[in-house]
Structure 1
């Protein structure tokens, strides 16, 4: 299992990886969670995918994409500020130049690779570690994200607790909240699984 960072800006070399993470998003957000997302031909894509994000993608040893997340600078359009402002204090995101937004985080925890009794799945921890690693290498110090209460508990179990930016609100069938996560070496060492492997390097590697 390994994590890679892929630029979404006209990336032809890794088109297959990007399409696979869009399919995983459809399976998780639409099929499993029942979210109201735009799915066409088995892939989930929204307007933020057109903003040249960086995708963090985890690939199993058999080549299957088992985890993904989308990273965009918090200074530009973000889901937190432009879609879920109700979750923010006074509807405003306390943004700074070294803040990045993570969105569309999802994992396939049904794969047998990386499953260990009583712990978080290795794909989840690999995704956490790769996101932090990429942010460290690219000068970011804080991650903002919109998530739900269940995932807030997962972050706490991983030792990477979310700092709430506002109170949770029910959005659809989900109790959602916005929060911030620290980016530092200690957080990386805490969440990194024993067999962690990545191809994440500065400046949106594999672009």
Structure 2
């Protein structure tokens, strides 16, 4: 599930990207990359799991399993990729990418959010989950923009036709404010998950505005 807080190898893509941000310095350099779980640097993987524990367990109080100050689950396996964002070489944001031909959170944990629509596994459809970031309000807008552009790049490199994910209606509104066109599953109604209005969404890469 994607959190509504300010936003888990061998690098297959890397970009050092100057972005104008509000608050603090007017210009900061942040960069994004994605990589396979199976070839991930152990220290990076620990940072990914630690950020997720800080966000989902400590900040949001979700019922997630943690061990040694880290949050990880059965979906953190050889099938997944991770997208990360760094600021001045500090990892500040992460999300997980899983092909829908493998078990995903939407198919195994939140099937009710399909709202009557059939779940159709497809190698060209990727689930986004566990989006989390350190609390850094001045970077929030820039990080979201960079994540979206990196998802476009990932889709191009892997011939992805669509992303699917479960998130809160707050994040849905945030994405729409970034100009992203989204489709809700099934009848389009929201579902309460842990007392929070949530939805399952479909995102086509072409519906992410490109930043030149």
TM-score tier, shorter chain, comes to: 0.7 to 0.9
CA contact (8 A) 2:117 2:185 kept: no
| Aligned counterparts, 1:186-201, within 5 A | 187-189=208-210, 192=211
Pick from 179, 182, 206: which aligns with 1:162?
182
- Equivalent in the alignment of 2:102: 76
In the alignment, structure 1 residue 179 sits paired with structure 2 residue 201: yes
Alignment root-mean-square deviation, CA? 1.8
SS in structure 1 of the partner of residue 58 of structure 2: helix
For the residues of structure 2 that align with 1:18 and 1:139, how far apart are their CA atoms?
25
- Tell me which residue corresponds to 2:31: 2
Residue in structure 1 matched with residue 52 of structure 2 by the alignment = 25
- The alpha carbon displacement at 1:92 in A equals 3.0
| TM-score between both structures, scaled by the size of structure 2 | 0.79
Query: How far 1:171 moved relative to its partner?
Result: 1.4
Q: Does the 8 Å CA contact 1:146/1:178 hold for their aligned counterparts?
A: yes
TM-score where L is the length of structure 1: 0.80
Structure 2 gaps of 5+ residues are: 1-29
1:97 is aligned to 123
Which whole-Å CA distance do the structure 2 matches of 1:150 and 1:94 have between them? 26
User: Contact between 1:81 and 1:92, CA under 8 Å: does it hold in 2?
Assistant: no
Q: Which runs of 4+ in 1 moved over 2 A?
A: 89-92, 94-97
